[in-house]
Structure formats: C-alpha cells, structure tokens
Amino acid sequence: MSTRISGRRRTARRRTAFAATAAALLPLALTACGSGDSGSGKDGKDGKDGTKTAAAPGFPYTVDNCGVKTTYQAPPKRAVTMNQHVTEVMLELGLEKSLVGTAYLDDKVLPRYQKAYDAIPVVAKEYPSKEKLLATNPDFVYGGYASAFEAKDGRTRDELKKAGIDTRLNLEYCTEKRTTLDDVYREIDEIGRTFGVADRAQKWIADSRASVAKTTAELKKTQSAPVPVFVYDSGDKTAFTVGGKGIGNELITRAGGRNVFADIPKSFGDATWEQVVARKPEVIVIYDYGSTSLEQKKQKLLKDPALKDVPAIRNQRFAVLPLSDAVLGVRAPDAIAKLAPQITR
C-alpha cells in the first residue's frame, strides 16, 4: 500500500509578480492578463503610464475550495500537481504549459497524456519535501488527496499561503456529503475557470454527461436489480475497501452495482473478512495499483478458505479498475462505462 493511499486514512516562494508592462503598451481594447499577486478589480490595474490594462476574460475569479476562499486576478502560471488524477485534470484541459512540476503517480497516465506529461519535470516520485516544492517557485499547488497538504511535512495550505502560493484540494477530500458525479463536474469547471479555460471545461462536462447518459440507458435495457459488489483495494488482516462517501461508491452505483460497504461513512475504510462473507458480494472489484500485482490480489482472495462460500469467489466473478480510474477526476465517465459490463455480465 503506498504512503499516499495511506494518506486517505490519515488524513514557493512568494508568488512571482506577473509583470504586465508589455500589455500596458497595447490599446485598451486588447485583453491582457493582470498581475497574479495584486488586488486589481474588474477594470484591471494601473500600467506604468497610468492607463488601465484590461482584465483577462473571466477574471477576477473567486472560488471557495474546501473552506479556502481565493480570488484570482489572472490564471496561475507556475502550477505544481501532487497526485496523478489532478495532473490528468490539468492535462485534459490542455494546461501542460502552466505546469512547472508534478508528483506522485498511482500507475500510468493515459496514453493520450503521455507526451505532454513527459515534458513536465517530476518534482518527486511521491510527495516532495517542502524545500523541493518551494524550489520550483510555484504560484499554485493542486493536491489530489488531503495528504498532499500534510501538516507534519510543513505543506499545509496555510503554510503555502504564507509563502504566497495559492492551493486547491480535490473536492472528494473536503466534502462532508456523499461524493457524486456533480462533484466531478464541479472540479473540472472550477479548474477551468481558475486557469482561464472555462470553455474547454464546459465541453468536457457536456461530453461526459452524454457518455454517462448512454451507459445509464444501456443498463436500463438489460438490468433489473443492482448487483452486490465488494471492492478490494488491499489488506490482509482486514479488507481495505470503498465506503459510501467517495466517488468509488458513485462509480459502482452508476455501473449497476450496490456497494456492500456503503455504510462505511468515508471514501475508504476497513472491513472485517467476516463482514465480507456475511454480505455475500456477487462481484469483487479489484483496484489495480502498487507493488502487489492484480494476480497476487486475486489469488489472495481465491485461496482464503474463509471466503470460499462468498458468491463472487465461488463463481470467480472479478472486475478490475486501475486506482487512477476510481478517484475524482477526468476518468470517471469512462470508468463507469468500463465497469458496467464487468459488473452486470
């Protein structure tokens, strides 16, 4: 189990001034980006010649993310992403040129992102130290899990704010309610607005809604009742599984399943093997990632005598998702389409 996955259980420098000197020399009819560290209003800020530069379209933009309210006068220019799924959000929206660093892959980025990803410096294999992070001179840090802003590592959002760095945490890890696809759409929308590419975000959202609607319509034609599903992430003495709060539960529901541990009030949590037996899942979804291979996980389940009477084990009904498919990010609509035939076959 990676330390970042464990982080689900436990839950740089002053922003470089963005000079608008060149823009100030242009006619006011042209749109220019304002400074990222000043409080200029809708009319822009004063140029050196005393004129006003126009604000970038959609700015100023204010967003409340997990209780942290931030007003952006212009898109961030030096972003660092920590965790694969938020890196992929940026790449899906064509924002690789805004990235000065990435950290922490769960598995592999999608092939369509590979070229763009390869051009971005990897700050650390897992989470970077505060010093390494600050050395990239970011103006924005985007974390996928709460552990990205770990207090013991000096990377809290408050600490980074003191260094002049804006931050964002993926919505799955800062909501008290159950995570749904609406949170996925909101995540993409807010990143699109933050980086001045709202049109790209809206196109992705529209396409994704259409994809999910298609999967839902197909399920209605063939399925009468949800299939009981147990998600096996990892674990020996206990089963680390998907609870009812996170996007993993939503993916199962949308794909025609019923999460047998939806009563766990967290995105992820531990269940006893006795509970797994008692709840009789008909399908086991295995999250594929990390140093323990998919086949090793499958054999661990098949060879456990205590599980021999579980319907999914008896009938060897397994479904597979890469971990990066099962978190709140741009893979969610495709993950539903991928999971549905595995659950309902």
**What's this model's pTM, rounded to 2 decimal places?**
0.84
CATH number of 225-339: 3.40.50.1980
**Residues 328, 335: Cα–Cα separation, whole Å:** 11
pLDDT tens-digit profile of 52-90? 567 789 999 999 999 999 999 999 999 999 999 999 999
Binned at pLDDT 50, 70 and 90, residue 224 comes out as: confident
Same fold, 3-202 and 225-339: yes
Residue 202: pLDDT over 90: yes
**Residues 51, 280: Cα–Cα separation, whole Å:** 71
Fold of 3-202: Rossmann fold (3.40.50)
Q: Largest alpha-carbon pair distance within the chain?
A: 80
**Residues 344, 189: Cα–Cα separation, whole Å:** 32
Domain ranges of the chain: 3-202, 225-339
**Residues 13, 175: Cα–Cα separation, whole Å:** 29
